[in-house]
Amino acid sequence: MDENKNSEEQNLIPEDENKTPSEDDLDMSNFSEDYEETGIAVWAKKFGLLVFEVVKVVLISLAIILPIRLFLVQPFYVEGASMEPNFYDKEYLIIDEISYRFNEPQRGEVVIFKNPKNTKIYFIKRVIGLPGETVEVIDGKIKINDKEIGEEYIKFSSSQSHEPVALANDQYYLMGDNRANSYDSRVIGPVNKKYIIGRVWFRGWPFDRINTFNLPDYK
């Protein structure tokens, strides 16, 4: 009886109990039909990829634009009539902020600067007097070191006269082109270079007045 019982128990043990699973046994392809992404999951994945791409483009753009915006060029809008007819109200300008880190402002350049009496206010004027020079206004005419300079860009002149001003080694005499309607060095005095932001390089608006700017020819 014992021998028969042992024989039956042995027959209950699977023949492949210690057999190593084959690749066919591990094949999960049969279950692929049971696992399918829902429409919401697919949409979420695509949306996540879209967000990632947008963030990447924004970060790359900021990495390129911010240094240019902060250290190289800056946009400004003209306000007022002090530079007419060469610059009109609401015109869009690009300011070169890097040049004056290596070079000094030149006579005839149009610059943006902070009002020394209120640095929150910005002005656009033209460089007339350079450091070390003496500037005098007689009946609207400009004299530099007792020599009159010609200004062909002036259309709206003034007949006013102002006492001679001797400029220090870091000062500039800045004036608006519309001499009859300009709050400039005739009122606020010479402007220290530290207040000058940069020179006007490019006019981008309006389209029919798009232009870059060269130094005028003083005779």
Point out the residues that are catalytic: 82, 125
Distance CA 174, CA 176 (A): 7
Encoded amino acid at 173, one letter = Y
Distance CA 172, CA 67 (A): 28
SS3 content of the chain, % helix, strand, coil (to 5): 30, 30, 40
Distance CA 148, CA 183 (A): 22
Alpha-helix residue ranges (DSSP H) falling in 14-116: 23-26, 39-67
